[in-house]
Amino acid sequence: MLDKTGREYVRAKMPMIGVGTYQVSSEKDVYASIDAAFDAGYRFIDTAQDSGYNNEQLIGKVLKELLPKHNLTREDIFITTKLMVENQGNEKAEKSILESLKKLQTDYIDLLLIHFPGCNRNDPNDPRNPVARKESWEVLEKLYNEKKLRSIGVSNYEIVHLEELLGHAKVLPAVNQCEYHPYYYTKDLVKYCESKDIHFQAYSSFGSEVKKQALLTDPKVTALAKKYGTSVTNFLLAWALSQGISVLPRSRNPVHVKENLEALKIKITPEDIEAAKADNQTKFLWDPTKY
């Protein structure tokens, strides 16, 4: 299919809620999380090359057992992984993605994202950043054309990075995965992605590991969760889902993994979506605004 400018784009069948696996790095936890997820009905796993995940190989290993256990095939599930900062550029990008395929023990990846717009996160003015972004995207397009990647996209991209990408991309990015919750709601970026037919996906729906208690105990959020007769975590997931934004909750607790899926049944009104928003935005994780 082609977009209005003639660029090719793909819309793989991606579920609206997936299992996040950040910091789920032991084989026991990976197995328990995905086993509970499949049992509950999840069909979407999100991982990355980054050391904060360190679980591509474990996911590939446990899927060999869990897919037949749950009467599933590889085609029944959706896998996202991400090109880490240190692997941006021509040769490193392709080599690392092929390695991800081996670790995940699959012939294709459903969605491959560039994890961050900077190749050197310590120096936002590094002139290598835009070069690496372009080279990395060309590698993604090559592997997409070779059917090794079913769809391609980005993560943590601001409007300026998307504008740059759209200036040379032959394949439209399918997804932009970013931090998004009532404390950090990038209205302009979400609208921009929507206008360009780029699906906006949220990570850190509960805030960061260090500061998430502030979001989970926020009086406005807790009152609204009570209004909808649900937990604060499910309200936060439903808050994004009700905006057409997919989510990637992470938990090592199989009970919580199953509970998170209930958020799909909750519809938050536009008025309550606005009511949940904090007056001042607080970004918990990576800040890509200057890269």
Kindly report the CATH number assigned to the domain that includes residue 154: 3.20.20.100
Residue 244 has pLDDT above 60, yes or no: yes
Asked whether residue 278 is domain-assigned, the answer is no
CA dihedral over 69, 73, 74, 78, signed as positive or negative: negative
State yes or no: 115 annotated in a binding site. yes
**What are the phi and psi torsion angles at 94 (to 5°)?**
-65, -45
State the total domains in the chain.
1
Q: What's the pTM?
A: 0.92
Range of the domain at 75: 19-208+244-254
- The Cα–Cα gap between 240 and 262 comes to 14
- Write down the pLDDT at residue 49: 97
- Write down the pLDDT at residue 97: 98
Asked whether residue 285 is domain-assigned, the answer is no
- Write down the pLDDT at residue 52: 87
- The proportion of the chain whose per-residue pLDDT surpasses 70, expressed as a percent, equals 90
Asked whether residue 161 is domain-assigned, the answer is yes
What does the block give as tokens for 106? 């699959």
Asked whether residue 76 is domain-assigned, the answer is yes
The answer to whether the beta carbons of residues 38 and 63 sit under 8 Å apart is no
Asked whether residue 142 is domain-assigned, the answer is yes
**What are the phi and psi torsion angles at 247 (to 5°)?**
-135, 160
Asked whether residue 105 is domain-assigned, the answer is yes
The answer to whether the beta carbons of residues 196 and 219 sit under 8 Å apart is no
Lowest mean pLDDT among 119-128, 135-144, 257-266: 119-128
108 is catalytic: no
- Write down the pLDDT at residue 7: 46
Nearest CA among 217, 154, 221 for reference residue 185: 221
Task: List pLDDT tens digits, range 74-105.
Answer: 999 999 999 999 999 988 999 999 999 999 99
Asked whether residue 12 is domain-assigned, the answer is no
- Write down the pLDDT at residue 8: 45
Task: State the distance between the two ends of the chain, measured CA to CA, in whole angstroms.
Answer: 31
Q: CA 68 → CA 20, 79, 144, 186, distances in Å?
A: 22, 17, 28, 41
Asked whether residue 263 is domain-assigned, the answer is no
Sequence-separated contacts (24+) of 211-216 with Cβ below 8 Å: 211/282, 211/284, 212/284, 214/183, 215/181, 215/182, 215/183
- Catalytic choice (31, 53, 203, 291): 53
- The Cα–Cα gap between 109 and 267 comes to 31
Residue 57 has pLDDT above 50, yes or no: yes
Higher pLDDT, 152 or 255: 152
Task: List pLDDT tens digits, range 1-49.
Answer: 444 444 444 456 899 999 999 989 899 999 999 999 999 999 999 999 9
| Strand pairing report for 246-247 and 19-20 | unpaired
The answer to whether the beta carbons of residues 36 and 69 sit under 8 Å apart is no
CA atoms within 13 A on the CB side of 275: 14
Q: Residue 268 — very low, low, confident or very high, per pLDDT cuts 50/70/90?
A: very high
Q: Residue 211 — very low, low, confident or very high, per pLDDT cuts 50/70/90?
A: low
- Write down the pLDDT at residue 188: 96
Indicate the residue type of 150.
R
The predicted model gives 261-271 an average pLDDT of: 97
